[in-house]
Amino acid sequence: MRRKKEKRNFWCNNEIGCMLNLVRQMHSRQGTTTTTQYTFVEIANQMRSFGFPNKSPTQIRRKWFQMKSAYLCYKRGNKDRILLIPEKFRQVIASFVDAEYQAMPGQVMSEMMDVKPIIRSPVKPIHIPLEAPKRLQIPHRQIDQKPKIQEQIIIEKKKLKKKLEESANEEQGCSDLKFTKLTNRLRSVQKSLQKEFSSRQKALMEYEHTLQRERDKTLMEYFTKSTEQILSTSFSILGQIAMK
């Protein structure tokens, strides 16, 4: 089945402000800046409750990463990309991105931001093997947390799917009940119309028969009178002829 293409929807400042407030709440609640598909589904549901029903999880995800990407390009030197973010939200996006990349290792952060690290004092070779394990511990922790996060995402997807199926079944049941009530009402109206038509048709036939009887009676009376007049006229004429 071909997926229906979503209608293009422009963002206003109120919608962007509501989305950023919900993202901040989700980050503080989860204790991490990691975003999943469930995160955007939850934000879309909450935006509907605040009076913004036209934003789907996919549109929220695209807008979120678009503004983050625009700020990163601005940091790398592409100044025109900052125009994609409304001026009143630039500081908010900057705080989100800076807080997210400050939690990363220094080397990864410098590569993402495309900034060369400044070495203020010479680093002794002895310190290198001591610092390397510290930098390697963070990716291992992230890798260990991935299965748990994936399991949580799968569970949340199943719950969301179950809720959608239940709501679809309820809507189908309501529509079937409405259709049954409508058909019963139409049948009752049809029966009443047929009954009224039969009674009117019967009355019309009786009236037509009455008119036919009156017409036949009138015709017979007219023929009788005409015959009597003709006979009387004929007898008078014959009498006059006989007298002559």
**Residue 48: per-residue pLDDT:** 92
- The pLDDT of residue 149 is 79
Q: Is residue 49 in some structural domain?
A: yes
Please report whether residue 73 resides in a domain: yes
Q: What is the pLDDT of residue 115?
A: 37
- What is the count of structural domains for the chain? 1
Q: Is residue 92 part of a domain?
A: yes
pLDDT for the residue numbered 121: 39
Q: Is residue 68 within 8 Å of 93, Cβ to Cβ?
A: yes
Give pLDDT, residue 131.
39
How many other CB atoms sit within 10 Å of the CB of residue 78? Answer: 11
In-domain check, residue 109: yes
51 lies in which domain range? 13-117
Residue 88 inside a domain? The answer is: yes
pTM value > 0.85: no
pLDDT of res. 119:
34
Q: Is residue 60 situated within a structural domain?
A: yes
Quick one: pLDDT at residue 170?
82
At residue 45, the pLDDT reads 93
Per-residue pLDDT at 10: 82
Regions of the chain where pLDDT drops below 70: 1-9, 103-147
Residue 1: inside a domain, yes or no?
no
Residue 96 lies in a domain: yes
